[in-house]
Structure 1
Amino acid sequence: MLRFSANLGFLWTELSLPDAVRRAHAAGFDAVECHWPYAVPAAELRAALEETGLPLLGLNTRKGEREGDFGLAALPGREHEARAAIDEAVAYAAAVGAGAVHVMGGRVAESPAAENAYAENLAYACSVAAAQGIGILIEPINHRDVPGYFLSRVEQAADVIARVGAANLKIMFDCYHTQIMQGDLLNRFIAHRALIGHVQIAAVPSRAEPDEGEICFERLLPTMLDEGYGGFFGAEYRPRAGTDEGLGWRKTFD
């Protein structure tokens, strides 16, 4: 059965995060996920999750404080900031009962120094998170939306996971980003199935509701289930109009 998670970084952004959780539940989503919830007291978010019974699948580490920051984990010389962001994210995830933390790598050219910083910071994140029963996700992000992002290819993510060697480190397989950077989504998904912890969807190239564009999600997602994926599909798209007005895309999967 296809199960969908509402990404509240893009959906119902006019509402407070707890109220967005409630709206996602009312709209029939099976789970929620978010980007940076830190302005919301953890107790308020946890109360909304408990009220609705929706699981919170994950949240992101902070982007960083400097102009242009989009994560810190792969930036040599900023390990102290990266680990503080990891500590904060894991503590918040534990407080609200989230399942995973996406550790953002940041904008930096590939180099031995960046690779070492990334691997060492991820090893730290995996150790801290494992003590709380939380997973760590890394996400290849396309260079059109985020020029210079360190992690941009699925195979690169697989190499990082092999180097770190932690059981709770997985790939966030974002169909939007991967289609833009590499394409061949199904074969790439099958080749890395054992390493994939979460799947996200949005139309390409618009990043709108997944009922337009060049990816046939109505065939792709059921095939992913057939290949053994048992998780949720994260709806991480920017609505063409309002969130509620665009929810008709789910009828494709009924």
Structure 2
Amino acid sequence: MRFSANLGFLWKDRSLPEAIRAAKMAGFDAVECHWPYDVPAAEVAAALGETGLEMLGLNTSRGDVASGENGLSALPGRETDARAAIDEAISYASTIGAANIHVMAGFASGEEAHRCFLANLGYACKAALPHGITILIEPLNHYDAPGYFLSTTEQACMIMEELGAPNLKLMFDCYHVQLMEGNLTNRLKRLLPVTGHVQFASVPDRGPPDGGEVSYSYIFGLLEELGYDAPLGAEYKPVGSTENSLGWMARQLRDA
């Protein structure tokens, strides 16, 4: 079992290059991030090269955060901004060797938003294909992100089937899926073939995975049985220092 440190939540008190180095020291096999755009890509690439870690993925820009935006690609009338954000993400990801880009939908609803999201995803998939980059879409729960356009794996699967792009995959975040849909075992069994990345955190507090209502020792074992061997994304919010929250990983690797 291999793990990726999501640096959007872990080591937030450090610069992104320093967080990459901290993840290496802690024993992670890869890293991922949210919005790295304030840090020159060359600095991130240098830290990745130094540590030998792969950056698994990053997100497209949220847009105007001050006004409450959380993604642009399902917002009718914002197509120009959405595609600029996609271009920015592809340029950054290709520079640092990131394999995946999560295209954020944003707060929207209805058929017009659906058509807008499909069109922007089609643009993203076509633009990312020459770079060998996979486009991910991630359902977010309505407790943390009320009004977010994409909220269930069923909706995501319908979008992926309708678009039919070979490099469009599901981001299966166990935290979000458990809160919205539950039944993680059967959903993982059914959806793993269309899944590009798996993330986890405790439910319902989004803390380290050794508490809450989900048995991650079981989930990790299930994923191994299903043949999933890519690093799993630790996207949780530590209480206190990140280092003090990593007992779950030591126990998991010891008991594996």
Report the counterpart of residue 239 of structure 2 in structure 1.
240
3-state SS, counterpart of residue 63 of structure 2: coil
Contact 1:10–1:237 (CA under 8 A) maintained in structure 2 = yes
Q: Is the 8 A contact 1:179 1:204 kept in 2?
A: yes
Deviation, structure 1 residue 210:
0.4
- 1:195 partnered with 2:208: no
Alpha-carbon offset, residue 206 of structure 1:
0.8
How many pairs does the alignment contain? 252
SS in 1 for 2:246: helix
4+ long deviations beyond 2 Å: none
Q: Aligned partners of 2:227, 2:160: CA distance in 1, in Å? A: 20
Query: C-alpha distance in 2, partners of 1:75/1:139?
Result: 16
C-alpha displacement at 1:143, in angstroms?
0.4
Which runs of 5 or more structure 2 residues have no equivalent in the other structure?
none
Counterpart amino acid of 1:149?
Answer: Y
1:251 to partner: Cα distance: 2.5
Aligned-residue sequence identity (percent) comes to 54
Identify the residue that residue 120 of structure 2 maps to in structure 1. 121
Q: Which residue of 1 aligns with 2:111?
A: 112
- Provide Cα deviations, 1:212-242, integer angstroms capped at 9, x if missing partner: 0000000111111211222111000000111
Q: Write the letter of the residue equivalent to 1:123.
A: G
**Deviation per residue, 1:103-134 (Å, 9 max, x gap):** 0000112x111110011100100011111111
More displaced stretch, 227-236 vs 114-123: 227-236
Q: Secondary structure of 2:170's partner?
A: strand
**1:54 pairs with 2:56:** no
Check conservation: 1:108, 1:150, Cα contact below 8 A. Answer: yes
The answer to whether the 8 A contact 1:186-1:224 is kept is no
RMSD: 0.8
Query: How far did 1:33 drift?
Result: 0.1
Counterpart residue number, 1:3: 2
Which residue in 2 is equivalent to 1:178?
177
The AA in structure 2 aligned to 1:114 is A
Equivalent residue letter for 1:74? A
Corresponding letter in the other structure for 1:69: E
The amino acid across from 1:96 in the alignment is: I
| Distance in 1 (alpha carbons) for counterparts of 2:24 and 2:7 | 12
Alpha-carbon displacement from aligned partner over 1:37-86 (angstroms, at most 9, x marks no partner): 00000000000000000000000000012611000111111111100000
2:224 and 2:162 map into 1 onto residues whose CA distance is 28
CA contact (8 A) 1:218 1:252 kept: no
Q: Which residue in 1 is equivalent to 2:227? A: 228
Offset at 1:164?
Answer: 1.0
2:103 match:
103
- Partner of residue 79, structure 1: 79
Other-structure match for 2:37: 38
Give me the whole-angstrom Cα distance separating, in 2, the residues matched to 1:114 and 1:124. 15
Q: How does 1:14-29 map to 2 (within 5 A)?
A: 14-29=13-28
Offset of residue 252 of structure 1: 2.8
For the residue of structure 2 that corresponds to 1:128, the secondary structure is helix
The one-letter amino acid of 2:210's match is D
Comparing 91-100 with 219-228, which one deviates more in the overlay? Answer: 219-228
Hey, what's the Cα distance between the residues in 1 that align with 2:160 and 2:229?
20
- The alignment's TM-score, normalised by the length of structure 2, stands at 0.97
Residue ranges of structure 1 left out of the alignment (5+ in a row): none
Tell me the secondary structure at the aligned position of residue 82 of structure 1. Answer: helix
SS in 1 for 2:4: strand
